[in-house]
Amino acid sequence: MSETSKPDLLEKIVQILSSEVTTRTLREADKKLKAYVTDIVQRTARRLMTMIAGGIMVLIGAVFLFIAFSEYINETLNSTWIGWGIGGLVAMVIGLLTYLVSRR
């Protein structure tokens, strides 16, 4: 009987040690994975916020450019409305072309 109790005791010791090593390894891997994912999310959020800010600035600039374009045509043609119509038409064509290109 002493022979059977020794392997049982040895198996229990090996099992306890292996479970402790496995637990520590998984804990460390979990910490590293969380840090990695957090880093990716933060970098992506920073890039996204920068892209959104840049897009907003482009839109503001485009609005001012169209206003200036319309005012220039109004001054050139001595009209109060034709520049706005041409500016709207140009904006509509650009928007339509952008929509058609994005559908591909």
Q: Report domain extents, the chain.
A: 2-102
pLDDT at 1: 47
Q: Coil, helix or strand for 1?
A: coil
In what helix (H) or strand (E) does residue 62 lie, and over which residues does it extend?
Answer: helix 2-77
pLDDT digits (tens, 9 = 90+) for 20-72: 888 888 888 888 899 999 999 999 999 999 999 999 999 999 899 999 999 99
pTM: 0.59
Neighbouring CB atoms inside 10 A of 6's CB total 10
